[in-house]
Chains A and B, each alone.
Chain A
Amino acid sequence: MKNIMKKTSALILGAVMPAAILSGCGSGSGAQTAQTQAENAEMAAPAAQTESAAEKTLTFGCQMYSDGLINPASQTNCAWNCMRFGVSEALFKFNDNMEIEPWLAESYEVSADRLTWTIKLRDGITFSNGTPLTATKVKESLDWVREKGPDGSSNPQKYLEFDAEVTADDAANTITIKTVTPYVNLTGNLAYPVMAIIDVAETSDFDSGVIGTGPYKVKEFHDQVGFDMIRNDNYWNGDVPYDNVKILFMGDASAKANALRAGQVDLVENITNVADIKSLQEDSSYTVDIASGVRCGFTWMNQSGVLANDTLRQAILMAIDYDTICSSNTIGGLYTAGFSVLPSTLAYGYDKLTNPYAYDPDGAKKLLDDAGIVDTDGNGIRELDGKDIDLTYVSYENRMLNDFSDAHTMYLADLGIGVTARYGSSDDQWNALVAGDYDLNNNNWTTVGTGDPTEYMANWYSKSGADYCAYQNDEYDKLYEQLLNEADTAKRADIIRQLQQILVNDAVAIVDGYYNSSMAYSKNVGYAHIHTADYYWITTEIRPAD
């Protein structure tokens, strides 16, 4: 009898254990995620209670980038966090057509030589601590970010050079920026989140307590968990719909979707797996808002390693069936396939580009065979310089990047190229990229961060410091320098088209596709909107249901 009891309990244990393992876990950073979710659950409970009171609370689930910190000068992700969470605002902003509009600024003038920019500030703006936004405050902020920039990785000099001189005229409420090199698009640069205007004199906790002009301000920061935000009573630009905003960091797309379904959050950004987004779209209790993509998912090919071989890179590009991947049930149309690093929807002449390395698996094999890159020892892997080709693939679980990496790996195996996966967090991916410690490195970038792709295209300009794949082409460099000095829009577009064609011809990157951003929300929210520019998540447009 005792034995039967014991065996039954063993059976039950066997059945329960896998379930226990499942329920406790999130993504790659397992232990941390499980803990974070547990803490999230604790935080969500009071949120639900306050909802019944008169105070209006929005709970928002989002990915955690760079530990969720919001110091614009420390890391680009932090600058984005600061603006995304509704804390900071900039002098200019992008509308959904990626056109630049004044934000904290009212208007601007530029001299004929494009060296002197006079920006008139809007009247009556105050920071969330009540301090008025004056020209001097703006100057302090722009000076501060460039002074602190070198300590971090925000690279503010990419948007406003170190040598540029900012002068403030409080009486006229204008600032004047005198640059040494002419800027084509300084207003777009000043719209970038790194250049957000914050109260540097009175901010004491830059990591998590930045004082900005946005509709919400930080009440409390919970490390690895999220932010408690409250309404900025001094907000200058209309009503702020919520009294409180709770930002909860969520490990992965399914966690966000499940939190939304469970009522733990009202609003989430970027649910990135097809199954969840489809089920939310079909469910009338939720609204899904999708913005056409200006983000490009692409895999860097590190030319300082074995991928310095041109033929090998070309064959890799030809071996992958991009259309089938993007239309598969796995990716399900969340990406649009394409072969250039700039999305086909942007007006940079995608239609006029030619792709010499379209999907052609037999052609890819022939290319390698002809180049003598063959499998001589019969292990299924081709050799280069006597060694099996084994590429290290760095990737992370966001916006389906791991799925793309898996798919690429499968196609490359068919070609006879070995791939070793090294999947980790977004920080692991970034560090590997900057250190050049990879062969293939998959990521997803905003392409027109400052309104046009100049900054993004610097990724392949060998003198930019952002050329993380050791690519070097003098023709590209020359053309890129031309772009930096060209003010005419049509001419710029044509240069950008030529730059794209060079990159396509040189087989610099595996393009996953162009990503469509999304936001999903429950009936608790009346309206929310995901912007084309990825910098604006928590805005005053998001309002509670009536």
Chain B
Amino acid sequence: MKKKSFFVQYPVFTIFAVLALMIILAAVFAPVICGDRDPLKGSLADSIQPPSREHIFGTDKMGRDIFTRVMYGARISLSATFILVGIVFVTGTVIGIISGYFGGIVDAVMMRTADMMMSFPGLVLAIAVAGILGASIPNAIIAISVVTWPKYARLARSLVLKIRHADFVEAAIVTGSKTPYILLRYMLPNVVPTAAITAATDIGGMMMELAALSFLGFGAVPPAPEWGHMLNEGRNFMQSAPWLMIFPGLAIFVTVVVFNMLGDSLRDILDPKEKAR
């Protein structure tokens, strides 16, 4: 029997992968799509114009083209989100593996720290951290990383504990394998798939948290075209000029949904439990 193509076999994944790719491409090629429009330049004389042929999403308070700002905003939101997810994935996994493998005092210190971080409501702690560091995208990434890494660390630790005393690990130790080798060769491969799925499903959520921080004034600073920040800028005009909020809001919504569904379908493919059913 001829084996079905991967993409045909998983149509949901395929659809959302294509959509996600389109969003990424839109971000990468924003200058091409928007022509010579500058997301930071406008004219106060054209401020708060409703959508028209010239400005299909209308203009904002500074007379800037909202379509251009939404497109360029994808660059900020996507890159910041990927960096954020990358950071928490790497740090969380590494800490979790070390903690699970060595146990004892190392484990106790790391996990109690993680517990401490997790005992606060995430966004509130992130606001506190971002507030202390000052408003900027890198600081927002740091703030959310600080509150998110324990999730990955606990996950990685539990996966490591499952195989810590398995025969093949004991055998490796007995035959004189070096610790770094064991960590890399046996522990890491056991952790990465599950952590990666978690990371994929987290992209949407992380994007929302970054947008939330920017909305609250703890992330992007003006005049950056960041979606959460654009929502905040348009807030006062919610009733009289709703396009100021609708389009950046829609951009957040679409992107978050696409990445959430992509992560979901990826889990459906990779998660052994789902497969077994």
- Residues of chain A touching chain B, judged by Cβ–Cβ distance below 8 Å, are 3, 6-7, 10-11, 14-15, 17-18, 21-22, 25, 27-31, 252-254, 273, 275-276, 278-279, 321, 324-325, 328-330, 402-403, 405-407, 409-410, 413-414, 420-423
Contacts and interface: CB of A to CB of B under 8 A. Distances in A.
A36 to B, nearest CB: 14
A254 B221 contact: no
Given A275-B241, A279-B239, A279-B240, A30 B45 contact: no
A191 B190 CA distance: 76
Contacts of A330: 44, 47-48, 61-62
B247 interface: no
B273 to A, nearest CB: 12
Given A14-B253, A410-B41, A423-B217, A329 B47 contact: yes
A409 B223 CA distance: 8
Nearest to A420: B221
Interface in B250-267: 252-253, 256-257, 260-261, 264
Interface bracket on B: 35 or more
A403 B221 contact: no
Contacts of B256: 14, 17
Nearest to A402: B222
A14 B260 contact: yes
B268 interface: yes
A117 B37 CA distance: 66
Contact of B63 (A18, A27, A328): A328
Given A7-B261, A330-B47, A410-B42, 12 more contacts: A6-B264, A10-B257, A18-B249, A18-B252, A30-B218, A31-B216, A275-B237, A324-B45, A328-B45, A329-B49, A330-B61, A420-B221
Nearest to B224: A421
Contacts of A328: 44-45, 47-48, 63
Given A278-B240, A409-B223, A30 B217 contact: yes
A405 B135 CA distance: 16
Contact of A275 (B41, B215, B231, B239): B239
A69 to B, nearest CB: 22
B40 interface: yes
A30 B237 contact: no
B212 interface: yes
Contacts of A276: 236, 239-240
Interface of B: 40-45, 47-49, 61-63, 124, 127, 134-135, 204, 208, 211-212, 215-218, 221-223, 231, 235-241, 249, 252-253, 256-257, 260-261, 264, 268
A262 to B, nearest CB: 13
A409 B222 contact: yes
A21 B236 CA distance: 15
Given A330-B62, A407-B62, A22 B127 contact: no
A273 B49 CA distance: 16
B264 A7 contact: yes
Contacts of B231: 18, 22
A31 B124 contact: yes
22 contacts: A10-B260, A17-B256, A22-B215, A25-B216, A28-B216, A29-B217, A30-B217, A31-B127, A252-B236, A275-B239, A275-B241, A328-B47, A329-B48, A403-B61, A405-B222, A410-B44, A410-B223, A413-B223, A414-B41, A422-B135, A423-B217, A423-B222
Contacts of B43: 324
Contacts of A422: 134-135, 221
B133 to A, nearest CB: 13
B208 A18 contact: yes
Contacts of B237: 273, 275
B62 A406 contact: yes
Contact of A406 (B223, B253, B264): B223
Q: List the 9 shortest-distance A-B pairs measured between CB atoms, nearest first.
A: A30-B216, A275-B240, A28-B217, A329-B48, A328-B44, A273-B236, A330-B61, A14-B257, A421-B221
Contacts of B41: 410, 413-414
Contact of B222 (A15, A22, A325, A406): A406
A21 B240 contact: no
